[in-house]
Amino acid sequence: MQLFGVDIGGTGIKGAPVDLDRGDLAQERHKVLTPQPATPDGVAGCVVEVVRHFDWDGPVGVTFPGVVTGGVTRTAANMDKGWIGVDTAALLSERLGGRPVTVLNDADAAGVAEMTYGAGRGRTGTVILLTLGTGIGSAVFTDGRLVPNSELGHLELKGHDAEKRASVKAKEDGELTWERWARRVQKYLAHVEMLFSPDLFILGGGVSRKPEKFLPLIDGIRAEIVPAKLQNNAGIVGAAMAAKATKPATAAEEGPG
């Protein structure tokens, strides 16, 4: 089965139909640059452009880099503050001609995809996926079930918002070496471990493509630490999985009885 996922990020909005049997994109993804400022209206236009690029007319799942409850975006740490309190699921559904739209947090989407198709597949206990990018996103699982909107990127670390110290943006802005940045990531992981005692950390975001640069520099963490496997497409895949929940089941899918 194919469903459509869109990943809204601070720099790009990307989407593709997803093959849910394989957990991978069914076609090459289409990406447009996030308008600045990234207002709901401007971004909604980009989501429409991405979906229309594929001629897709079914339900759509969309990730957002902030807290999302019941389709309403509640926070916007790295986006325009105009998103706060917007019924984003309703806005996007209206702009996409009334089709069902499911909206969820970007890290939660990536986490669900990793747990199903990637590094967390078959893993029980407490698993925490952290995406290290412009901000830090988190997805917390207990025996495979997501606790949504965990927002562990905003834990306080040495008096700072953790994502301001240990995100990839913090590394780039501060021109930190891999060694210095890895020390910060290690302190951050130690803090999260103190609070949750996870069995497994999955590290996602762009850096999951270069685990050899920093994973060997991290020690003193009891939990196993592995890089994410789906990398850049985890958000799109997780968004499409969320759309599945809204798709009316056909008689064949419902089965007898």
**Which positions touch ligand BGC (CB under 6 A)?**
65-67, 75, 77-78, 105-107, 131, 135, 137, 151, 153, 163
Q: Shortest distance, CB of residue 57 to ligand BGC, whole angstroms? A: 29
Among candidate residues 40, 2, 1, 32, the one with its CA nearest the CA of residue 15: 32
For ligand BGC, give the closer residue by CB, 114 or 151: 151
For ligand BGC, give the closer residue by CB, 23 or 65: 65
For ligand BGC, give the closer residue by CB, 23 or 153: 153
For ligand BGC, give the closer residue by CB, 77 or 103: 77
Encode 144-173 in three state secondary structure: CEEECCCCHHHCEECCEEHHHHHCHHHHHH
Distance CA 110, CA 246 (A): 18
Q: Shortest distance, CB of residue 161 to ligand BGC, whole angstroms? A: 8
Q: Shortest distance, CB of residue 38 to ligand BGC, whole angstroms? A: 12
Q: Shortest distance, CB of residue 146 to ligand BGC, whole angstroms? A: 13
The structure tokens listed for 185 are 């990531």
Distance CA 117, CA 137 (A): 19
What do you get for the CA distance between the two ends of the chain, in Å?
22
Residue 84: DSSP 8-state:
T
Q: Shortest distance, CB of residue 40 to ligand BGC, whole angstroms? A: 16
For ligand BGC, give the closer residue by CB, 93 or 105: 105
φ/ψ of 55, rounded to 5, equals: 65, 35
Distance CA 68, CA 138 (A): 13
For ligand BGC, give the closer residue by CB, 26 or 106: 106
For ligand BGC, give the closer residue by CB, 114 or 163: 163
Token look-up 């110290």 returns: 165
Q: Shortest distance, CB of residue 192 to ligand BGC, whole angstroms? A: 14
φ/ψ of 248, rounded to 5, equals: -60, 130
Which secondary-structure segment (H or E) carries 234? helix 234-244
Q: How many CB atoms lie within 10 A of CB 123?
A: 18
| C-alpha 248, offset from chain centre | 25
Q: Shortest distance, CB of residue 106 to ligand BGC, whole angstroms? A: 5
User: What is the CA angle 28-31-34, rounded to 5?
Assistant: 165
